[in-house]
Chains A and B, each alone.
Chain A
Amino acid sequence: MLKNEYRGVWTIGEVRNGEISSVSYELLAWGKKLAEKLKVELSSVILGSDIQGELNELFHFGADVVYVVDDENLEHFLPDVHSRIYEALVKEYKPEIIIASATTYGRTIMPMLAAKLGTGLTADCTKLDVDVKERILLQTRPAIGGNVMATIKTPNHRPQMATVRPHAQKALVKDEKKDGKIILKNYPSEFYKSKYRWVSFERDKSVDSPIQESDVVISGGKGLKDGKNFKMLYDLAKKLNGAVGASRAAVDMGWIPYSHQVGLSGKTLSPRFYMAVGISGAVQHIAGMSSSEVIVAINKDPDAAIFKVADFGIVGDALEILPVLIKKLSDEVNEND
């Protein structure tokens, strides 16, 4: 392996329903720091159907180069087709680093691509840095239910690959003057042969704002006493542009679907703001949210474990506090209008 042939930082953009999704812009913020330190170009790779219109946005958010493969066969996610195209692109352009978001897409396509390329892949990183001299990516990630942090590198293989936790980083400030280079690639029809057939997508309204996609997550536990009290969490989340999560106990009670469960056997999140309401703070719950930037807890038990991981806590009855908080936030928003 001639490591020095590999240069540049790539980010794997995501297209959902024809639109470039927000994680694509966040990835550029992750990549920018690395590309600046390594003094190389930052690229975004976009696969999709009918997407050309919005590509300039990627330049505005930091990309120097955008690789585009636009084909009607790319309308849906067919893993074999996508991984075949990424493999061809990597073999032609040889980036030293590839990062993707740890979404269901990134977590599927990246291990496939790493297996094809025979290189290392680090999962769900919360921090990335580079050893500039050695040009080695230092990837830090939580494991074992958030109890351990490990820094991992891929010293001898290229590209170095990582997925990063969605929404752990904000997109850069938009610079509308920034321009870049578009590289449009076409592949012959055999690239599009697939063992998959896409059938349908059904929106699930209860996951309208998926918790892994949100900067703000308001979670409820057994302390909410009744499924209908989750309505207050939805009201609160709406005011803060967030999503609603839950403890396993709340899911087990049937108050909210499993897709909202935060924790060891649910989703692991790092939103910028996490609020735990009526959640005791069992290790299995904390495993899913302890790396959130800011944590607020509301619990009537002053000794609840959740307060240990909270930046701010209120000891009191959530069912009394929530209505007052929602009212207060409505007033705030009106004032700001």
Chain B
Amino acid sequence: MRIAVLVKEVPATDKVKMDEKTGTMIRSGMESELNPLDMYAVEEAVRIKEKFENVHVVAISMGPPQAVNSLKEAISMGCDDGYLMSDKNFAGSDTLATAYALSAAIQKLGNFDLIFTGERATDGETGQVGPSVATQLGIPVVTYVSKIEKISDEFVRVCRSIEGGKETVEVELPALLSVVKEINEPRIPNLAGKIASKSKKVPLLTANDIEVILDKVGLSGSPTRVVKVFYPKLSRDGKIIKVRDLESAVNELVEFMKQKGVI
């Protein structure tokens, strides 16, 4: 069985600091990391590899050259190989173009039975790449997967975590699964894993290597355009009261809620 895991490198969001006065993000010295939600995808793929024989797990990322670090991290967690798609032609891709390029790489690397993605990347936060990759490959997608119940040669049975409860579905392979945090607890890479990832070569794939139509990637292949970016002022300057007497503090809160139409 061959499994692909799609991983994205994102700004290390816990390091994102806001300028209190201007409400802007302080970007200097921003580090990047493997998208935290993609660790669950990597972990699930590696668990399948550990449970069954002859499973090969390949991590794929599209991004700038330094994204090799995220692939190395995926390898240190147990992926067999990593491929980095990096090419200036990919720059500015929206989700449709990103998914097109990823699907071209998946086809080039060939014959995957299962593809994993995270629920969403913590920077773009659309969650659209997984369903779009699957659709462009012509294979089914199951989103919000919180448990894999059964894997056979022909299908998987999974639980989806959706509004109001859990849905169980079966889907034919090959299929793409986008997983949520509930699915597992990602491992911390051990020393052997770290050593393995150091020596592992991560091949680079260019637009040419994966035979994409250049008009369908990058800015020219992206139907969406960002016309404006602004930094919301998060601070609300609300009224903050100290409790002196419980009753009157609560009364004031209830008055506020009435005024706002909550009660």
Contact = CB atoms under 8 A, between A and B. Distances in A.
B253 to A, nearest CB: 6
Interface in B142-183: 142-144, 157, 160-172, 175, 181-182
Contact of A325 (B141, B169, B234, B250): B250
A256 interface: no
A264 interface: yes
A121 B166 CA distance: 27
Interface stretch (B44-52, B69-77, B82-90, B132-140): B132-140
A206 to B, nearest CB: 9
A272 interface: yes
Interface stretch (A2-10, A44-52, A151-159): A151-159
Given A114-B96, A264-B122, A309-B236, A321 B243 contact: yes
Contact of B131 (A111, A118, A272): A111
Given A111-B135, A283-B18, A202 B13 contact: no
DSSP majority for the B interface?
mixed
A144 B141 contact: no
Interface string A290-319: 110011100000100001111111111100
Nearest to A300: B243
A55 interface: no
Interface string B245-262: 011011101101100101
Contacts of B157: 199
A216 B260 CA distance: 12
A184 interface: no
B131 A328 contact: no
Interface string A238-264: 001000000000000000001100001
Contacts of A196: 140, 142, 169-172
A312 B125 CA distance: 29
A283 B16 contact: yes
Interface in A105-160: 105, 107-108, 110-112, 114-116, 118-124, 138, 142-157
Given A199-B170, A216-B262, A265-B36, A320 B246 contact: yes
Contacts of B141: 79, 108, 112
A240 B257 CA distance: 10
A228 interface: no
Contacts of B247: 324
Contacts of B142: 79, 196
Interface stretch (B107-115, B192-200, B206-214, B219-227): B219-227
A116 B10 CA distance: 27
Contacts of B230: 148-151
A20 B222 CA distance: 34
A120 B262 contact: no
Contact of B167 (A124, A144, A201): A201
A23 to B, nearest CB: 9
Contact of B226 (A151, A197, A208, A240): A151
A114 B130 CA distance: 12
Contacts of B123: 143-144
B96 A121 contact: yes
B169 A199 contact: yes
B8 to A, nearest CB: 13
Contacts of A314: 240-243, 249, 253
A210 interface: yes
Nearest to B222: A120
B128 A283 contact: no
Nearest to B163: A210
Contacts of B253: 296, 312, 314, 325
B182 A258 contact: yes
Given A144-B13, A203-B165, A266-B181, 5 more contacts: A112-B132, A123-B125, A148-B229, A149-B229, A310-B236
8 contacts: A116-B135, A144-B13, A146-B232, A150-B226, A200-B168, A264-B13, A273-B260, A332-B254
Interface of A: 16, 77, 79-80, 83, 103-105, 107-108, 110-112, 114-116, 118-124, 138, 142-157, 195-204, 207-208, 210, 212-213, 216, 240, 258-259, 264-266, 268, 272-273, 283-284, 286-287, 290-291, 294-296, 302, 307-317, 320-321, 324-325, 328-329, 332
